[in-house]
Amino acid sequence: MSYGKVLSTVQVDGAATVPSPVVPISALSTSSDPTLVLVQPSALINLLPQLKNYANKPIVFQTSSLDSQLPGDHSQTLLALRSLATILYSTNEQQAIANNAIAAQVAKSTGKAVVHFGEFEQKVFGQPSSSSSAVQNGSNGVNGKAAESTPTQAALEAAYAAIPSASPYSVFGETKAPTTVIVALSGNATAALSASLPAKTKLVSLNLYRPLPAQLIRSFVTKSTKAVVVLEQSYSGNGKWTPLFLDVVGAFAESEDEAPEKFLSGTVGFISDAKKAVKDINAAIAASTSPFTLGVLPAASAASSSTPVARPKHEATYTNLLNEVFGSRLWVANAPTSLLPPSNISSTSPEYALGHVLGSEKKREELRAAVRAVLALPADEASIDEATAKSLAAWLADDRTPSLGVAASSAILASDSTSPAINKLRDLVKAEGAEFVRKSSWIIGSEVWAHDLGASGLHHALATGADVNLLLIDTTPYVLPSDEDAPAPGAPRRKDAGLYAMNYGNAYVASVAVYGDFAQTLRAISEADSFKGPSVVIAYLPQGDVDSTRALEVLKNTKKAIEVGAWPLFRWDPSAEKRGKEVFELDSEKIKADLRTFLDRQNHLTELSNRLPKFGEALESGEGTKLVALQKRKAREAFDALAGALEGPPLLVLFASDGGNAEKLAKKFAGRARTRGVAARTLAFDDLPLDDLKLETNVAFFTSVAGQGEFPQNGRVFWKDIQAGKIAAGDLANVNYSVFAMGDSHYWPRKEDAHFYNKAGKDLQKKLVELGAVEAVEIGLGDDQDPDGPQTAYKIWEPAMWKFLGVDNFESTEPELEPITNEHIKIASNYLRGTIAEGLADKSTGALAESDGQLTKFHGIYQQDDRDIREERKAAGLEPAYSFMVRMRLPAGVCTPAQWLAVDEISDRRGNHTFKLTTRQTFQFHGIVKHNLKPAMQEINKMLLDTVAACGDVNRTVMCSANPSLGALHAKVFKFADDLSEQLKPQTSAYAEIWLDKKQIAGDAVKDFEPLYGEYYLPRKFKIAIAVPPTNDTDVFCHDLGYIAILDEKKELLGFNVTVGGGMGVTHSMKSTYPRLANVVGFIGPEQGVEVAKAVLLTQRDNGNRANRKNARVKYTVDRMGIDNFMAEVEQRLGWKLQPARPYTFTSNVDQFGWQTGHDGKRHFTVFIENGRVADEPEKLYKTGMQAIARAHKGVFRLTANQHLIIADIPPEEESTIQSILEQYKLASVDFSALRLSSAACVAMPTCGLAMAESERYLPDLIGKVETVMEEAGLRHNSITMRMTGCPNGCARPWVAEIAFVGKAPGSYLMMLGGGYHGQRLSKPYREAVNEEDIIKILTPMIKQYALEKNDGEHFGDFVIRKGIISATTEGKHFYDGEFPGQEAH
């Protein structure tokens, strides 16, 4: 594992020297490889203020304890860096080499900082040799018996598996029933004791200090264990208990299990006599001496091995911590030794200490004035050199940075200038004690001060605004009100010093607990020191006035107080707002987690329900609850309307919208109106009782168009009633109105159709004038073709509305609410759970919440309704006929006959008695109503299949060539497809919880950890296809990622050419969207395929456009970055480069129908199932016939990417049986025209919510008409790929067809020509809008010309390009170049 950059605070070979470990984020490695930073232990404390920024960066901090002031001392390292997720410890160079590799791999895979420290020479280590081993004895596990694996633990497990020479810990001595367990983070202890352990003693030597799960620690101990001894090399400790000792004791504080009788802490120095060391340990256990010393500590001032370490008071924990962080800068202003007050004033009085601090600050102000005086002198009078002047100026600009103070002080003391100003400055420093380096001033007190905030000095400090820090240590343990130790009801109540300070508004306030969250305590005292003004740090230290308190008791009490909220951990920094940061930071992890869960699952979703239509209905418990809620809403709206009318002009905003754009703009307009004091409310056209319209004062209408200038669905009843005369002329005389219409002028390119552009809005405008309404602002016509789309006209229309309403001079200071997007929904979903389970239980509606509709896609489910009866149900006052489409995950489209029968049965029992073979080689059910949804999912699971990731922003079903002649090769490629599907599958357990009641029939329950996707998943869907030349039946170039199998002369698999960047989805008239074919980027071996897929997926995850879903697919990422840059990042993640692509040839992308023989002699029959719909129709008994075949067939079924079916692996002796069944149900014939056999259509109407026109139900009829033309031209057996979709999302991949139609409105299609027959070239738009008459009129002469003038073997797509009928599309970005040549021709 290599590093992208190596930095060092001292000169080391192979590293760039830096002055400080505080490296700018911009200076870190820009590659995917981590940055290595070599740091001296003494410099680590400088990292504290920036540690939070580094924690989530791939950095390895490496430090050697041999370079500590006390050689071998771990104190400085663990003080500064113990809050980081991963800390590795090495006792020698051999371990250091292995742990260096572990650290680099973990930092790279997690993207988080790692610490590597120990006793080794500081240098840049190479790779571990395969023969080296750091495992001394026994265990080599990371998690032990840990209940669950975190991302860091998972990364460590992978790293240890890849680097066998590394080990997280080693075990020596008794392992089954030890009475004494020694846990050591000490090379000295391990070296001396491992070979000298007495009986019944177990030694666990740690090489991995973080993560150290509590359950793992507890696993070291058995029921027979009486004592646990923790040995460390922390010589300058900042408290009674050392870091590892607190971790070990804390592990038992979290557990209800009985803890060992004794926990002892030992400090290990140099051990020359192992036997004596063992005796000292036993003596300490017998006498319960803790802490104790083992060996000789490396300092003259250290206690000898026979003298126990001095035990400081608990309060000293905080003062020692301050000393470690601030060193010589620390000044405890009320320490008895620092003050010599008059005899009648206590030296520790907070008031006196504050006065002393203010006096010191006055002295510093004199120093600043003296420096300003020096710098103000002319150069000839100052008599100081330029360097000294710069040092003084830098200090004056920032007198809080210690290094600038040291530089200024040194410069002035070294100056030989005799200038009076210089002399005065020098005297201030020498004689009067003024200091350039700012002291960290602290006043330390106890909870007693909280009884009288005036006497504590707190009030005075806040009132003066002094730059001083107050540390108030609270030693009163948390007790329940019912406990014996609870204060009496009448006892004096302490004031909340923190709240008091926060109310002042000028102070930094923090609540900390060193034994609850050490890292938060460090961060708080560091931030307090940096804050310009008073700081109050309230510190919890239960029973701190009782020095004999056991560590376990302190940890348990601290943990309890924090978790129940009695002592919340927080930081409040009023200066943070100016820096764009949060003023209040809640640091209590459990409270924060509970709060986050509540907010994510409740408040955030409530916000969604208020801002997205109909969101909340599925969460109601029944009709009664809905009625009450409706009554409350009506009352609230009435009140708001009344209150608003008193404050500003009333405004009703009405919208009619199918796609949602007009609705979003209307609601945005209403929201802006409300911020200006306008009493605005929004409704759909059809939701307004028509009689109420005449009662309105100001009305803004927003409408898009549907079909041939018709009103959208939710505006048609309104419009019909208007046309029917339900409002008489003159009824709207008191109504001021304006219309904003939204359309696309290119939708109707023919002159005779131009009046359809924005027809709905224009018709409404005309009718309102007839009814006597007063036009407040001229109609706005939003056009998709304008430079900014509809916004071009809207930016003119909206200000005119504000002027009319009299609010044009208002300037809002409130930012607009960020619109709720799929990204918000995903992150708030708790790994795809949302409120799906609650929605399924709601019997009051057939729908799920709108946000859950986005989440169910990840579960393979789309919410739909029957659009054929939508109008009738609305007229009857009913909600739409909601149902669900369920798509299965079926890698490579392979299933067994038993699974086919189960699918058939589910479609009858739960669906609409049909099912679909899709263009992604899987099954799709339609018409499953909500109460049948969960049973259907469970039945799918019983057949050992699932629907996970069949949809959603993840990798979807992996496609694979279904060519029956491939034989054994197909088995290999199918296995590869299956591996890809499994490796890239989301890992959330939400699917098993919601649909299977946590009981998975097939496979093990997965964990809520998404190593590939993270909480946000991908920006958009991700599709993979595998093609085996010469057949490109999967349209491999149409996918985000593709694999083209490369075979040798014996038809054996050599590997794959890789393709990247394909995609089909487009938005009509939005030229920033376009189809794209993938680039061939190189060749790989079969074993490298999954690794490449992950690298491409991760590159898209981290670089895809999450701000605009219309430009979020891989194709746009590739074009934005450039294919070379995209692949460079992929190869960086891989750590190796792809080989040059190998030659290959495609000859077709259609299926081969009828009987074929594989290399193994088995027979295969490809059944033509038109557009993949498995249903019984007259003369087409697909459903019944396939049931009979499934009962008789002993092989497998292969679904093709063209929506047909291969009955595969039929033994020759069973061919006659299958043939007779095919003939019985009239499925044996494949004597269809080549055009029909080469066609494909998506589902579209009536179930697909995105469909703009018919597709599956219409294409067979259209082909029948075109077939007549083909047969007249003698082309019945000439294959031309013709595809149709109901919308531009391209499910049937029309953008590569030779002839294609994409729905724009009922009966109207975008027509395209010129696609490649092999799927190797995109088509191009030929006519913008055609109906059936136009299609036949266009194709008839074109097909006849093709019959007469085509070259031998020339395909239709190639012909129309050669003849200049259409130009070739060379790449996706040029899709629109030369579009619509058929507009003029026809």
As a whole number of angstroms, the distance between CA 924 and CA 1173 comes to: 10
pLDDT bracket for residue 480 (50, 70, 90): low
1069-1103 pLDDT tens trace = 778 899 999 999 999 999 999 999 999 999 999 99
Kindly state the tokens that stand for 248. 């070990």
Residue 456 banded pLDDT, cuts 50, 70, 90: low
Tokens at residue 710, please?
A: 């018709």
- Which tokens sit at 356? 């002393």
Is the predicted pLDDT of residue 310 greater than 50, yes or no?
no
User: Are 651 and 670 in contact, with CB atoms under 8 Å apart?
Assistant: yes
Q: Which residues contact 770 (CB under 8 A, 6 or more apart)?
A: 729
Which residues are the active-site residues?
A: 887, 956, 1021, 1023, 1242, 1248, 1287, 1291
pLDDT of residue 1092: 97
Cβ–Cβ under 8 Å, residues 586 and 592: yes
Distance CA 1313, CA 1322 (A): 9
CB 419 within 8 A of CB 396: no
Assess whether pLDDT exceeds 80 at residue 291: yes
Lowest mean pLDDT segment, chosen from 135-139, 1024-1028, 1112-1116: 135-139
DSSP state of 338: G
From 450, 449, 462, select the one nearest 504 (Cα to Cα): 462
Q: Which residue has the higher pLDDT, 711 or 388?
A: 711
List residues bridging with 1168 in a β-sheet.
none
Most trustworthy range by pLDDT among 625-639, 1149-1163, 1186-1200: 1186-1200
Structure confidence at residue 383 (pLDDT): 65
Which tens digit of pLDDT belongs to each residue from 667-683? Answer: 999 988 988 889 899 99
Residue 955 has pLDDT above 80, yes or no: yes
Confidence of residue 545 (pLDDT cuts 50, 70, 90): low
The larger pLDDT score, comparing residue 381 to residue 331, is at 331
Choose between 367 and 145: higher pLDDT: 367
CA distance 528 to 523: 9
**Rounded Cα distance, 746 and 785, in Å:** 7
* CA nearest to 1063, candidates 1079, 1047, 1044, 1050: 1079
Instruction: Give every CB contact of residue 1095 below 8 A, 6+ residues apart in sequence.
Output: 1130, 1131, 1133, 1134
Residues 1100 and 1121: beta-carbon distance below 8 Å? no
**pLDDT over threshold 50, residue 115:** yes
With H, G, I as helix, E, B as strand and everything else as coil, classify residue 243: helix
Q: Which of 54-68, 610-624, 1165-1179 has the lowest mean pLDDT?
A: 610-624
Q: Which residues contact 746 (CB under 8 A, 6 or more apart)?
A: 784, 785, 1069, 1328
At 542, the amino acid letter reads: P
Q: Write down the pLDDT at residue 497.
A: 76
Distance of CA 137 to the CA centre of its chain: 41
State the pLDDT at residue 225.
93
Distances (CA, A) of 347 to 340, 355, 446, 730: 7, 12, 15, 90
The encoded tokens of residue 551 equal 């560590």
Long-range Cβ pairs for the range 1209-1212 (8 Å, 24+): 1209/1158, 1209/1162, 1209/1164, 1210/1162, 1210/1163, 1210/1164, 1210/1165, 1211/1162, 1211/1163, 1212/1161, 1212/1162, 1212/1163
Report the distance separating Cα 1258 and Cα 1113, nearest Å: 30
CB count in 10 Å sphere of residue 1077 = 28
| Cβ–Cβ < 8 Å for 1108, 1072 | no
Coil, strand, or helix at residue 1148? strand
Mind listing the pLDDT tens digit for each residue in 1294-1319?
999 999 999 988 889 999 999 999 99
Q: How far apart are CA 510 and CA 318, in angstroms?
A: 14
User: pLDDT for 574-631, tens place per residue?
Assistant: 988 888 788 888 887 666 655 555 544 444 333 333 333 332 332 333 334 444 444 4
Q: What pTM was computed for the model?
A: 0.55
Per-residue pLDDT tens digits for 248-262: 888 887 677 778 989
Q: Residues 515-536: pLDDT tens digits?
A: 888 778 888 998 999 898 999 9
Give the type of residue at 395.
W
pLDDT of residue 450: 53
Rounded Cα gap, residues 1335 and 1327, in angstroms: 10
Average pLDDT of the segment spanning 1181-1200: 94
> What is the residue whose two structure tokens read 């006849």?
1344
Chain segment 1209-1248, per-residue pLDDT in tens: 999 999 999 999 999 999 998 889 999 999 999 988 887 8
Contacts of 809 (CB under 8 A, 6+ apart): none
Question: Residue 755: which pLDDT band, with cuts at 50, 70 and 90?
Answer: confident
Neighbours of 178 (CB within 10 A): 24
Is residue 706 a contact partner of residue 1305, using CB atoms and an 8 Å limit?
A: yes
d(CA 388, CA 1132): 48
Q: Are 1015 and 151 in contact (CB under 8 A)?
A: no
Kindly state the tokens that stand for 199.
């009986």
Say whether 1334 sits in a helix, a strand or coil.
helix
Residue 141 has pLDDT above 50, yes or no: no
Contacts of residue 515, Cβ cutoff 8 Å, sequence gap at least 6: 246, 541, 554, 555, 558
Residue-wise DSSP of 805-854: HT-TT----SPPPPPP-HHHHHHTTTTTTTTHHHHHH--S-SS--HHHHH
Q: Is residue 87 within 8 Å of residue 209, measured between CB atoms? A: yes
What average pLDDT does the segment 216-234 reach?
92
pLDDT digit string, tens, across residues 384-433: 777 888 888 888 888 777 778 888 888 888 777 777 877 888 877 776 55
Phi-psi region of 143 (alpha: psi -120 to 50; beta: other; left: phi over 0): alpha
Please answer whether residues 1084 and 1055 qualify as being in contact, where contact means their C-beta atoms are separated by less than 8 angstroms: yes
**Is residue 650 over pLDDT 60?**
yes
Mean pLDDT of the chain: 84
Helix, strand, coil distribution of the chain in percent, nearest 5: 40, 20, 40
Q: How far apart (Å, rounded) are the C-alpha atoms in residues 1103 and 1095?
A: 12
Contacts of 1020 (CB under 8 A, 6+ apart): 953, 1104, 1109, 1112, 1113
Distance between CA atoms of 455 and 631, rounded to whole angstroms? 56
Phi-psi category of 1325—alpha, beta or left, where left has phi over 0 and alpha has psi -120 to 50?
beta
H or E element: which one contains 320? helix 316-326
Q: Which residues pair with 1027 in a beta bridge?
A: 1044
Averaged pLDDT for residues 1047-1069? 90
pLDDT category at 788 given cuts 50, 70, 90 is: confident
* Nearest alpha-carbon partner for 266 in 321, 305, 225: 305
Give the C-alpha separation, 641 to 1205, whole Å: 61
Q: What is the pLDDT of residue 432?
A: 58
Q: What is the CB neighbour count within 10 angstroms for residue 1023?
A: 21
pLDDT digits (tens, 9 = 90+) for 166-192: 889 999 998 888 999 999 999 989 988
Cα–Cα distance, 1224 to 293 (Å, whole number): 92
Tokens of 1229: 């014939």
| pLDDT at res. 486 | 57
Non-local CB neighbours of 1080 within 8 Å, separated by 6+ positions: 1044, 1057, 1058, 1059, 1141
Highest mean pLDDT among 304-308, 590-594, 894-898: 894-898
Q: What is the DSSP string of 562-624?
A: HHTTSS--EEE-TTGGGGTS-SEEE--HHHHHHHHHHIIIIIHHHHHHHHSTTGGGGG--SHH
| Predicted local confidence at residue 1029, as pLDDT | 92
3-state SS assignment for residue 535:
strand
- Mean pLDDT for the stretch of residues 225-245: 82
